[in-house]
Amino acid sequence: MNTEDVWRAIDDQRRRLVALLEGLSEQEWQRPSLCGGWTIRDVAAHVALQNTTWSALPKGIWIAIREGGMNPAIAAVAREHARLPTDQIISEIRDRIGVWRPLPSLTYREAAIDYLVHPQDIAIPLGRELPMPSDAAMVAVDRVWSSDRMFHARKRYKGYRFVATDADWSAGEGAEVSGPVGGLLLLLTGRRAGLTNLSGRGADAIRTQHSTATSQ
């Protein structure tokens, strides 16, 4: 899949997300998302902020210092943006359709991660179906696995082998975890919901780990 194909897939996800958000009730906007401590509205606001430019970086650095790190800063900025009217948040996401430019210092691969995973953060808790293209998901999951600074998937899941059943992708060594590449992408980005459609000895072991951690 070349760069242009990935951006076309991202635009498709933007359109699907806009259509989904336009049909939500105010109560649904306040529901919890797959991101711990984030509401559906917070996630949508975060996606709407994908038009950040280099000129916004000084403020971002200041917020990171104030909040005690990049992840708390990202959450703080999203929650602040979530105070905007619903129509404006949706409009900002719609306005990104056709914009093939990643955030500063990132590439189209990281953009694919954002636009494939975050719509699922919204759709899955609401019981909505939002198709994830397997070819674009393969680009995203490969970037997640290869990166040392995002999600730490290789370290977190050392001793497991991940095998996509609907795409030509596999990684890792050990107990096998197999299933749709979209499910693998969700799991490797920290979403337990990704386990739903995964199988294998490794998947069972990961479920047991999560169950034990929850009960403690």
Q: What is the pLDDT of residues 100-137, one digit of tens each?
A: 988 777 899 999 999 999 999 999 999 999 999 999 99
Q: What is d(CA 155, CA 179) in angstroms, rounded to the nearest whole number?
A: 21
Q: What is the pLDDT of residues 30-71, one digit of tens each?
A: 999 999 889 999 999 999 987 554 344 444 444 444 544 456
3-state secondary structure of 104: coil
Confidence of residue 200 (pLDDT cuts 50, 70, 90): very high
Q: What is d(CA 211, CA 213) in angstroms, rounded to the nearest whole number?
A: 5
* Residue 89 pLDDT > 60: yes
Phi, psi dihedral angles at 101 (to 5 degrees)? -140, 120
pTM: 0.88
Region 94-101 average pLDDT: 93
The secondary element (H helix, E strand) that includes residue 58 is helix 57-67
Rg, Å, the chain Cα set: 17
**Contact status, residue 12 vs residue 97, Cβ threshold 8 Å:** no
* Number of Cβ atoms within 10 Å of the Cβ of 65: 10
| Of 119, 80, 76, 71, residue with least CA distance to 96 | 119
| Lowest mean pLDDT, pick from 25-39, 64-78, 191-205 | 64-78
| Of 116, 194, 115, residue with least CA distance to 153 | 194
